[in-house]
Amino acid sequence: MIEFFSEYPILLWLLEIAYVIGIIFLSIKIILDTQNVSKTLGYLLLIIFVPIIGIIIYFLFGVNFRKNKFYNFKIQKNKQVYEKIRSFAATLHKNTIKNTASPLLKNSLNTIQFLFNASQSIITQGNQVELLFNGENKFPKLFKVLKAAKHHIHLEYYIFNDDKIGNQLAEILIEKAKEGVIVRFLYDDFGSRKMKKKFLAKLKKAGIQICPVNKIKFKLLANRINYRDHRKIVIVDGKHVFTGGINVADRYINPNKDKFWRDTHVYIKGNAALYFQYLFMTNWVFAIEKYIPNASSYFIKSPQNFGNKLVQAASSGPDIKPSIMLSTTSSIYEAKKRIYITTPYFIPVAPILNALKSQALAGIDIRLLVPKTGDSKLVNAAAFSYYEELLKNGVRIFFYEKGFIHAKTMLIDDYFSSIGTANMDVRSQELNFEVNTHIYDKEINNKLCEMFFEDLENSKEVSYPEWIQRSSTKIFFEHFARLFSPLL
């Protein structure tokens, strides 16, 4: 090859010019297509300083191949589905605010109204709410409610494995389908890639309607990480909802006590199911590209009273505004006393990072609970790079040591609790389909706080003087990994 180009130097010169022109045009494309500044800089650094590998990484993970499909087709379908509930939903939202004298709403009114205006998310009263800690508590409750289903069961999961717990759940779904209950099952094609065709065929044979969200045809060539459906939602008969951090896989029920998996889910019965039903149905219509027959029958027709909890959902995805990121930031600024956050992946976007530092400097008690060891060295290192500035500004950080903590929760003062599917990273905040549940209630807040302090007993706090003693090599690797944080 060297001899060939030495004989024909003009060809090498032409290739070099073509390469430079290609890099320039690719850089322009990245600048035009990528709205996030840090992500834009990350991709530009990759293709310039690591040319071949950087270009491959960008085309695998960065190119928005489905931009038009997501931002046109799905937005249009969302509006058409919402039209079926617009009048009732808007009235329910306004009446909840009007009829609730509780000061709990006043503290968060800006966030509540933002979510309604940004993503049509309504706040509802009359809900029963139960916190479910770990899979050992979630699945018995889920199975009980599923077995009592009369009309329909809607499931949407990022990870659904056909292992022991997955097959137990599948058998219930098959039995209910045989009884005439309508069962629809959405799954993420990347997260649930371990599901075998034989398993899916068994579900379809029983009459269960199944479809992946954002199907991947060529896993090695697609931008497979972007726009994943990271939600975990089950809706039964339009009034029961299960959502949170727990997927369907054996590891969530802790069969191996040496590899403890700590997670949090929530069960809701009541009017809050209306919005979760809307989220499921818009993703279902998008996935199968067909409307659900008699769709209005899947929504509640009038307000019901199952409890006294105020509930609102914050959703995000490529089809709507980054409501989770913006509502999280808003909620942090509304805190007056304390903010306790649990997350398995902490690679925050700038607004959330700045809000935490600002509130910590204002004297708010801010505590961050994260795993001692993550499931990715690069992600772990990128997260570590943020801890020094947080500690320096007064945020307290705790490393969970009992196992892996996968819960995504936030409690603020003594009235606000959030249990969700979204991690505190760029991918969850800006790209994936996610949903967090906001509960405005002192009792739920107190229970979540008790669990937080129980988790702290299995954790070790790190201090600022201790943290800055890390080796220079480790610090360099962490800050190097941070350069890739918009891509993680």
Catalytic-labelled residue, pool 93, 138, 154, 230: 230
Active site residue 408: yes
Rounded Cα–Cα distance for residues 432 and 394 (Å) = 31
Rounded Cα–Cα distance for residues 438 and 330 (Å) = 13
- CA 3 to chain CA centroid, Å, is 54
User: Residues 374-382: contacts with CB within 8 Å, 24+ apart?
Assistant: 374/344, 374/345, 375/404, 376/488, 378/481, 378/484, 378/488, 379/345, 379/347, 379/425, 379/481, 379/488, 381/477, 381/478, 381/480, 381/481, 381/482, 382/347, 382/478, 382/481, 382/482, 382/484, 382/485, 382/488
Output Rg (C-alpha) for the chain, integer angstroms. Answer: 24
Catalytic-labelled residue, pool 319, 408, 425, 438: 408
172: amino acid identity, one letter: I
Rounded Cα–Cα distance for residues 121 and 124 (Å) = 10
Active site residue 413: yes
Phi, psi of 109 (to 5 degrees): -60, -40
Active site residue 217: no
Cα dihedral sign, 289-321-129-94: negative
Active site residue 237: yes
How many degrees, rounded to 5, is the angle at CA 463 between CA 461 and CA 465?
160
What is the β-pairing status of strands 233-236 and 240-244?
A: antiparallel
Active site residue 240: no
Catalytic-labelled residue, pool 188, 237, 441, 455: 237
Active site residue 154: no
Residues 6+ apart with CB under 8 A from 218: none
Instruction: Let me know: does 346 contact 379? Beta carbons within 8 Å.
Output: no
Catalytic-labelled residue, pool 74, 154, 265, 406: 406
Rounded Cα–Cα distance for residues 120 and 134 (Å) = 30
Outline where DSSP puts E strands in 318-423. Answer: 338-342, 346-347, 365-371, 396-400, 403-405, 409-412, 416-420
- Which residues are part of the catalytic machinery? 230, 232, 237, 406, 408, 413
